[in-house]
Structure 1
Amino acid sequence: MLWLTLTIPLLAVALDLWLKDPPNWPHPVRLIGWLLDRLERLARSSPLPPRLAGLLCVLGLTLGVGFAVRLIVSLPMVGWFLALYLSFAGLALGGLLQEGRRVAWLLREQDVEAARTALAGLVSRDVEHLDENGIRRALAETVSENLNDAFTAPFFYLAFLGPAGLWAYKTVSTMDSMWGYKTPHWRELGWAAARADDLLAFVPARLTALALTTTARLLGKPGVRLSDLRRTASLTESPNAGWPMAAAALALRAGMGGPTRYFGRIKTKPWLGPEDQIWTDIKLNELFRLTLLAGMGVCAGLILMAQFVILVFSAI
């Protein structure tokens, strides 16, 4: 059990920060996306109500992926190495920071068009009309939010449930990113995927916010009161995304939100943090540093928690 709760997670984090996401390597998320395309056709042709069909897709694919990973990592001789690869492939903190710093560097080089193009690979919003301040704000939002989605949440399930738990979560997260839109095309079929993702990310999102605010305080930033964090996070539609974004905005004293264009339509998002403070190059660099250190704090804390749980259950 020690390899599951200590060695594999630590090595996976080290590989993620070192190798990032090698572009020519096979990635399990691509396979999940391929399966989802075929499941969608099957679900839409089913006589079942769309919500029920979507729910069965979520349950079937999540359990199927979790079971498959469990079998793969149990293989003799190669199981440990496959477990390490699958754990590393499920984390994306290194890639998030690499791409975020690339956008920030392009802005410092005053190559706004290239910065927009790079940002488009990180966000779902329209970027064509963003000025420099808009690019910085969008970058700050996606880096802080994705600290949870790309690292804390998958690592949470890796630490407690191993690679099978990580990829069960990643399956739900991928389904939400592909199906979880509130558009007429996806509202019913993607309902279960969106609700499942909300449930599974509930605790990790709050751990991420706690890690960000605690790390910021250790770095000499003003403290963030829990009541302010809870109130600010509750302004967003998502029950989870607002927590890490609010933590970053309050800790670094820069605003997020406001009018945002998605698929050609303007959506007015609530402001998080001070509206009169913009994201500068200095504050973005502080955010990158804060994100890395908070991620390492999450890693250490979750491993210790997992070890404690194992000791408690082994003593029963």
Structure 2
Amino acid sequence: MNDLIIFFIPLFAFLLDQLLADPRCLPHPVVLVGKCISMLESLARRHEKRCSLRTAGIMAPILLCVAVGGIVWPLASIPVFGVIIAIYLAFAGLALKGLVQEAGKVEALLAEGDIEEARKALAMLVSRETGTMGEREIRRSLAETVSENYSDGFFAPFFYLVLGGPTGLWIYKTINTFDSMWGYRNSTYERLGWFSAKTDDLANWIPARLSTLSLIFAGKGLGLATENVMDNTIRQAPSMESPNAGWPMAACAWLVGGTMGGPTIYFGKTKDKPILGPEGQEWTAERIETLFRLVDRAGWLTMLLSLCVLFPLSMI
């Protein structure tokens, strides 16, 4: 695969994501990765006496990442047809348009006054309990998941796509899927998932901070107040339990002017999350729509800037 083709893959992948989002008719590689992780978990628990869960929690992610890389690289390297495979795998690893669309469905249901269906639609996007949420809590949860997932659902995969092609992207997606399935800090996954959680934190460290810059530049283009946003983000982001999630969340909160954090119910227990953004500002329908425009504009900006970097390199 020559350098000029490598330059075009992120462009085509991004445009396909914008045009098609997440088509249900096509098989999604992350589903296969998830099934593999479930099989590895069953295997680890079945043989726990011979291999501790902590050891299995280290070996499984490493082995599956090597396997994924060992499959994606040769497939993407097949003459002619490999380009199509590479573009599809790159497109399948991005989730910007689908994120905004699914979040938009929740907001549309709220606008129609159908709060029960809005709760159900939100439950498909978040791990928190939504059954008793009112409009305020639904919109706050929506803002938090859209801003956090802008980074690990789009920016980070795109970042690794630019750096390492489809192989780099899918190794990242494998790490991220391990974290989403095993990275819980509870008695069930504490030993099995600790390595996955730490690896995901490491993989997202640079993208989370760069995604903040893309959001601020996009906000400036939309005419949002960007003064002190970076200073406030640097101050508030470390208060989050995750070393990365607070960066895009705090940036979005300050740019749009809505408050994130506060009491949130996870698995029957209330967790008091740190406050991000200006205090006491509700997420109205107008602020949610502004957030959608912000992450969409930031995605386009990220794609264009990456092309500015890749094109000169492809000419060398």
- TM-score normalised to the size of structure 1? 0.95
- Aligned partner of residue 190 in structure 2, secondary structure: coil
1:303 is matched with which residue? 307
TM-superposed deviation, 1:228: 1.4
Q: Write out per-residue CA displacement over residues 23-67 of structure 1, whole angstroms, 9 at most, x where no aligned residue.
A: 121110111111111111222214233222111111110111011
Counterparts of residues 46-125 of structure 1 (less than 5 Å): 46=48, 47-125=50-128
- Aligned partner of residue 260 in structure 1, secondary structure: strand
2:216 is matched with which residue? 213
| Structure 2 residue 291 is the aligned partner of structure 1 residue 287 | yes
2:276 is matched with which residue? 272
Counterparts of residues 195-206 of structure 1 (less than 5 Å): 195-206=198-209
**Residue segments in structure 2 that go unaligned for 5+ positions in a row:** none
TM-superposed deviation, 1:156: 0.5
Residue type matched to 2:90 in 1? S
Counterparts of residues 1-316 of structure 1 (less than 5 Å): 1-44=2-45, 45-46=47-48, 47-225=50-228, 226-307=230-311
Q: CA contact under 8 A between 2:4 and 2:314: conserved in structure 1?
A: no
Q: Structure 1 stretch 209-218 or stretch 244-253: which is displaced more?
A: 209-218
Q: Which runs of 4+ in 1 moved over 3 A?
A: 305-311
CA RMSD of aligned residues (A): 1.4
**Residue segments in structure 1 that go unaligned for 5+ positions in a row:** none
Q: Write out per-residue CA displacement over residues 116-169 of structure 1, whole angstroms, 9 at most, x where no aligned residue.
A: 111111111000011001000000000000001111000001111100110000
CA distance in 2, matches of 1:309, 1:233: 34
Q: CA contact under 8 A between 2:201 and 2:244: conserved in structure 1?
A: yes
Q: CA contact under 8 A between 1:209 and 1:244: conserved in structure 2?
A: yes
Q: Write out per-residue CA displacement over residues 233-280 of structure 1, whole angstroms, 9 at most, x where no aligned residue.
A: 111010110000000001111100100001111111011012211000
- TM-score normalised to the size of structure 2? 0.95
CA distance in 2, matches of 1:103, 1:21: 17
Could you say if the C-alpha distance between residues 34 and 94 of structure 1 is closer, same or farther in structure 2, counting changes exceeding 3 Å?
Answer: same
Could you say if the C-alpha distance between residues 296 and 68 of structure 1 is closer, same or farther in structure 2, counting changes exceeding 3 Å?
Answer: same
Residue type matched to 1:179 in 2? W
CA distance in 2, matches of 1:246, 1:127: 22
Residue type matched to 1:270 in 2? P
- Aligned partner of residue 268 in structure 1, secondary structure: strand
CA distance in 1, matches of 2:171, 2:211: 20
Matched pairs, number: 312
Q: CA contact under 8 A between 2:13 and 2:88: conserved in structure 1?
A: yes
Could you say if the C-alpha distance between residues 3 and 120 of structure 1 is closer, same or farther in structure 2, counting changes exceeding 3 Å?
Answer: farther
Q: CA contact under 8 A between 1:211 and 1:297: conserved in structure 2?
A: yes
Q: Write out per-residue CA displacement over residues 200-258 of structure 1, whole angstroms, 9 at most, x where no aligned residue.
A: 11111111111111211222221242321111111101011000000000111110010
Q: CA contact under 8 A between 1:224 and 1:251: conserved in structure 2?
A: no
